[in-house]
Structure formats: C-alpha cells, structure tokens
Copies of this chain bind each other. A is one copy, B any other.
Amino acid sequence: MPVAVIPFKQKNPKTRLSCVLSQSEREEFAKAMMLDVVATVKDAMCRPVILGTEPFESDDLVQVAMPEKGLSDALNEYLSCALDSVLIIMADIPLADEASVRRVIATQSDLSIVPGRGGGTNVIFIRDPAKFRVDYYGGSFAKHMKIAADAGLSVEVIDSFRLHTDIDEKEDLPELLIHGKGKSRAYLEEKGFTLISDKGRTVVERKQ
C-alpha cells in the first residue's frame, strides 16, 4: 500500500490566479483541490500524507511539516527513509481520479511519471524510494527522466490528461468546470464561475 505524499502550500498559494480570486479565496480553493486529491488517492488505496508549509486543522489527515529548505530537499529526505513505495502527487490536480492513479501505481517499471502542463512533474510513483531523488521546478519532467536513466531505473510515462492538468492559471479553470467532480469544482461554482463557449476554446467568467 503506497504512501501518497502531497506537498501543500497553505498560505498565499496559486498567485497566478490572483486575477480572479482573492488571497483568502485562493487559500480555500487550494485546500479544496488538495482535499479532492486526498479523496482520490484514498479511493486508489494509497495512504495520504500532507507535506505542508503550515499545519491546518484536520481530524484525520497525517501532516508532516515541510522544512525551510524547500520542496525537493524535503521530499528527498522523506524518500531516503521511506519503507514503502511512494507516490508523490501534486495538490493542484483535482481532475485526478481513481482510475488514473491506479494506472500510475500499477506500473511494472521501477518508476512511473506523469508530466504536468509546461514540462513539470505532476505525479511520480517510486517503487524503491531509496534509489531515486527528485528535483522539482524548471522543467522537472526532463530532469526526472534523466535522474532515472542515470540511476538505471526503468520508467513508464503515464498518458493521462486528468493527471497532466495542473490548475495554475485562469486558462486552466475551464478544465475543472468541464471535467471536475469534487469540492474544488463546487467551490468555483459557488464563487460564480461559469463556462462561456464560442467558436474557440471554452473560457470562464466570474459572476458575482
């Protein structure tokens, strides 16, 4: 049963959404997305652990404090002492569903990975955590492929738009309203976001 580590920034997250959401709304929205990811990894029979910048109130979630040194170092420290296989899954991919997460953890390779939009890494599954280290930010998908190759680890790239679609910008919000089902989609609707279609891509508008 893999541990699913979910990095989570509680304070002032998702700044690229500032054009449509206030800081407190971004904090609520980021938390709703994280809770959607938590529900999904539980459905896929993983045990969620929140690696958070600040603790938050929760009756049932395992929380680990993220040290000052930053995400990659914190995760690498975690990997070096992990006893089980580890799934690292970002908190901002609320389209993740049980089927897509199960495809990731069902890999026959040493590692499976899902690229995010714009060259990032949204999900990695590491069968033997001690053999791998992560390096996030700045084209991390290519970096992770190279780290795996250098370590002689086999890699499967999982082709999933649900796991590929990270929600960072206003242009990403239509995907959540079209394909989302959980708390984060409900949050956007509650805040007055609706879809507008003309001939090109569907966009969102916020009505107050």
Tell me the A residues contacting B by CB distance below 8 Å. 16, 97, 99-100, 115, 117-120, 137-139, 141-142, 159-165, 168, 171, 174-175, 178-179, 195, 197-203
Contact = CB atoms under 8 A, between A and B. Distances in A.
Contacts of A162: 159
B159 A118 contact: no
Contacts of A197: 119, 138-139
A130 B58 CA distance: 54
Contacts of A168: 200-201
A199 B137 contact: yes
Contacts of A100: 159
A138 B174 contact: no
A164 B163 CA distance: 12
A202 B115 contact: no
Nearest to A202: B119
A178 B138 contact: no
Given A99-B159, A119-B195, A171-B171, 12 more contacts: A97-B159, A115-B178, A118-B200, A119-B197, A119-B201, A119-B202, A138-B199, A139-B195, A159-B162, A160-B161, A161-B164, A168-B201
A77 B138 CA distance: 48
A202 B166 CA distance: 13
Contacts of A137: 199
B199 A120 contact: no
Contacts of A178: 115, 119, 139, 141-142
